[in-house]
Chains A and B, each alone.
Chain A
Amino acid sequence: MTEFLMPSLGADMEAGTLVEWKKKPGDQLKPGDIIAEVETQKGLIEIEVFEAGILEDYLIEEGDKVPVGAPMAKLKSEGTPGKIPEKDSETHPIQEKEQATESEGPVPSDSISEETSSKEKSSEEKHRIKASPLARSIAEKNNVDLTSLTGTGEGGAITKADVEQAMAGEKETPKQSPETTAVKDTVEKKAEQETPSKQVMEPPAPSSKPGQQESIRAAVAAAMSRSNREIPHYYLEKKIDMLAAMSWLKDTNRQREISGRLLPAVLFIKAVAKAIDSTPALNAVWDNGLQLKNEVNIGFVISLRAGGLLVPAIRNADTKNVDEIMTALNDMIPRARALKLRSSELSDSTITITSLGENGAEKVFGVIYPPQVAIVGFGSIVNEPLVHDGMLAVRPVLHVTLAGDHRATDGLTGSRFLEALNNHLQNPEKL
């Protein structure tokens, strides 16, 4: 006794609907006989038998839909048909394996998800921190707490350099990782558009750590030595009557809140920015020749309390008004002292101003910050006897100096610049 099964006629056939029996119980069957018609998704198909025998009984009725392999009829076989093990008598090795894994007891699917969720919880904190995979793995190996770091990578992501920086800081190692220096150097120069020299006066990172001060000192030393070594300086000095400027400042400040009051330095910066107009050769860098700069970014020397100095730039000072310049200074000076400047601020300047402020020396002769070609020095404003309208009078006087790179410009250019500067300071309301 065998069963006649719903045949599989294609890998995409899953079931068939019996439309019509073509043989009756008791009928003699021979191979090739059509036993039934079955409706499939491809249409009506005649189903043939491959064994001789007698149809004993139907197991399904016309109209029934049964899956492939389901018994349709009972057959009484005849003779010795070819031996073909039925499908289910043999298990396909692949299926076998799959079944084995499936049935291997309670596979800990629950415990997996538990584990995952607990892991997620414990590292939830970590996941919120943006850090490169490499930074993460270095931090993990060295027990560096990523939450305490500020990232300098894309979108503020913590990079390898940031982690190494933190590690170096803990060990009080003054040096940055060489990689960071190199990389920052180069990219900054790119941003500065082909400024060729090494950017040395840059704090290693925006977080203040012991050791950084030393490196700033070292950076200043390197830059100034280089300047002295490479740049043939010439010096000019001009006395400027500051009465008009100081009176204007006094009047202006009287009408302002304390927080909005202007410092003389604002006038110096603005006047320099305007004076450069007539002598653009001073707003430039020297790189195998003079290269003029389109923007006027005035570097303003800020002395650090612990020694050393930083020169952040006031960008586009020529297009900013005095209030905007004051705002910039107010923002920059405290950040500079906390070593929290952005690296771009330290690399953009095209000419430098050094101003000693109140109670300082009367004159300052600057050392040019390479690769720039000029530095303007402002002494403290002091009352001095001065000839005014043919009469000797005591007036507030400012000694302004210019140190110029003699490769780039000559004294005449410098002199013109100082004269222009004077004119601007005489008309403070126009600044």
Chain B
Amino acid sequence: MSETIKITYREALKAGIREALFNDERVFLMGEDVGRYGGAFAVSKGLLEEFGEDRIMDVPLSEAGFVGAGIGASLAGLKPIVEVMTVNFAMLPMDQIANNAATLLHMSGGQLNVPVVIRMSAGIGKQLAAQHSHSWEPLFAHIPGLIVVSVGTHEDARGMLSTALNSPDPVIIFEYTSMLNMEAEIPADSGPTDISRAKIRREGKDISIITYGIGVYKALEAAKRLSEQGIDAEVIDLRVLRPLDEDCFIKSVSKTHRALLVEEAWSTINVSSEVSARIMEKAFYELDAPVKRLGGIEVPIPYPLHLENASVPQVEDIENAVIKILRP
């Protein structure tokens, strides 16, 4: 066992950005308040002083403009990390992402690569109400041409960016505001994250809990509690929401014969919808119980804490859902 270090999710993200800036001159970070302010969530604090204005660019509130410029810069030889402060503002540059980043390679018959990385913080959990609590991963995961990844663990917070920057295709990275202060132990030498594969975070034989993002630690906690009751749950962190690593979860469900799909995004047409459909298509005869989904309640996220908590699956919900599947 190698040495571990204790690190917050925020520090892990920052370490990833810093390493990327060190390793490649073509990499630069652009986004609202990433420089002088230190990042809206203090993720890039101190980087301006370290790398200078050329590498850490504050930009005006022009999400469509600077995301488009990031895409353009990537067409012309740079490796931009574009930070959209939160996914809540992501409908503004959505045209740039869906109509340019995702299509240029295809429309040009394979001539143009778009090696841009777009980071967005997402998720609920800070009582920010309806306009600032979106889980819009599924909107992006819908679009062919994008690689959509979700940072569910501290290891990935540190390792995902470098792999994303090596991709010749546009990568959208979702990070989670509510996890920024969480501390965890990660191997001191934890390296780049494989963004083509889902990750089994806990092996088990009774049921597959398939999730991503904030759902990962929640599912692991639920699995821990369930194990005290003798239920051996497998937890899969999808990690890459497009293109999905189907092999991983199909194999898992073929082993456990049961699946619970967990995510914060509204249930109608979310990532779980797709995972569920694929299980039906590829592993129907392996199923010993209907696939169940635990998704966001279909409501604009309300402000009061208790209602906010009730809007998305919690550890207890996961625990209870598993029990209900195993003991109908």
The answer to whether A183 and B231 touch across the interface, beta carbons within 8 angstroms, is: yes
* A187: Cβ under 8 A from any B Cβ: yes
* A399: Cβ under 8 A from any B Cβ: no
Which listed residue (B230, B288, B323) contacts A182, Cβ 8 A?
Answer: B230
- In the assembled complex, how far is the CB of residue B88 from the closest CB belonging to chain A, in whole angstroms? 37
The answer to whether A186 and B229 touch across the interface, beta carbons within 8 angstroms, is: yes
Interface residues of A in 191-209 (CB under 8 A from B): 191
Which listed residue (A133, A152, A189) contacts B328, Cβ 8 A?
Answer: A152
The stretch that binds B, out of A5-13, A68-76, A153-161, is A153-161
Residues of chain B contacted by A135 (CB below 8 angstroms)? 288
The answer to whether B327 and A187 touch across the interface, beta carbons within 8 angstroms, is: yes
The answer to whether B231 and A154 touch across the interface, beta carbons within 8 angstroms, is: no
The answer to whether B326 and A189 touch across the interface, beta carbons within 8 angstroms, is: no
Residues of chain A contacted by B287 (CB below 8 angstroms)? 132-134
Size bracket, chain A contacts: 20 to 34
- In the assembled complex, how far is the CB of residue A230 from the closest CB belonging to chain B, in whole angstroms? 19
Residues of chain B contacted by A137 (CB below 8 angstroms)? 285
Chain B facing A: main interface SS:
loop
Which A residue sits closest to B286, measured CB to CB? A134
Which listed residue (B206, B226, B286, B323) contacts A133, Cβ 8 A?
Answer: B286
Which A residue sits closest to B319, measured CB to CB? A190
Which A residue sits closest to B226, measured CB to CB? A186
A135 to B286, CA, bound (A): 9
Interface size on B, residues (CB 8 A): 20
* B289: Cβ under 8 A from any A Cβ: yes
The answer to whether B328 and A155 touch across the interface, beta carbons within 8 angstroms, is: yes
* B140: Cβ under 8 A from any A Cβ: no
Which A residue sits closest to B320, measured CB to CB? A190
Contact status of A190 and B288, CB under 8 A, knowing A152-B328, A183-B231, A185-B230: no
The answer to whether B289 and A153 touch across the interface, beta carbons within 8 angstroms, is: yes
Contact status of A134 and B288, CB under 8 A, knowing A186-B229, A187-B231, A190-B229: yes
Q: Inter-chain contact count A-B, CB under 8 Å? A: 63
The answer to whether B326 and A133 touch across the interface, beta carbons within 8 angstroms, is: no
Which B residue sits closest to A163, measured CB to CB? B288
Which listed residue (A132, A155, A179, A184) contacts B327, Cβ 8 A?
Answer: A184
Interface mask (B314-328 → A, CB under 8 Å = 1, otherwise 0): 000000000101111
- In the assembled complex, how far is the CB of residue B230 from the closest CB belonging to chain A, in whole angstroms? 3
A154 to B326, CA, bound (A): 9
The answer to whether A134 and B257 touch across the interface, beta carbons within 8 angstroms, is: yes
Interface residues of B in 245-296 (CB under 8 A from A): 257, 284-290
The answer to whether A132 and B288 touch across the interface, beta carbons within 8 angstroms, is: yes
A132 to B287, CA, bound (A): 6
The answer to whether B285 and A186 touch across the interface, beta carbons within 8 angstroms, is: no
Residues of chain B contacted by A134 (CB below 8 angstroms)? 257, 285-288
A159 to B326, CA, bound (A): 11
- In the assembled complex, how far is the CB of residue A161 from the closest CB belonging to chain B, in whole angstroms? 8
A84 to B326, CA, bound (A): 68
* A188: Cβ under 8 A from any B Cβ: yes
Residues of chain A contacted by B257 (CB below 8 angstroms)? 132, 134, 160
Interface mask (B110-140 → A, CB under 8 Å = 1, otherwise 0): 0000000000000000000000000000000
The answer to whether B286 and A191 touch across the interface, beta carbons within 8 angstroms, is: no
Residues of chain A contacted by B286 (CB below 8 angstroms)? 133-134
10 contacts between A and B (CB under 8 A): A132-B287, A132-B289, A134-B257, A134-B285, A134-B286, A157-B289, A157-B328, A186-B229, A187-B326, A187-B327
Q: Ordered nearest first, which 5 A-B pairs have the shortest CB separation?
A: A187-B327, A186-B230, A154-B328, A134-B288, A186-B229
> Can you name 10 extra interface pairs (CB under 8 A) apart from A182-B206, A183-B327, A190-B323?
A132-B289, A134-B257, A135-B288, A154-B289, A160-B288, A186-B226, A187-B229, A188-B327, A189-B230, A191-B323
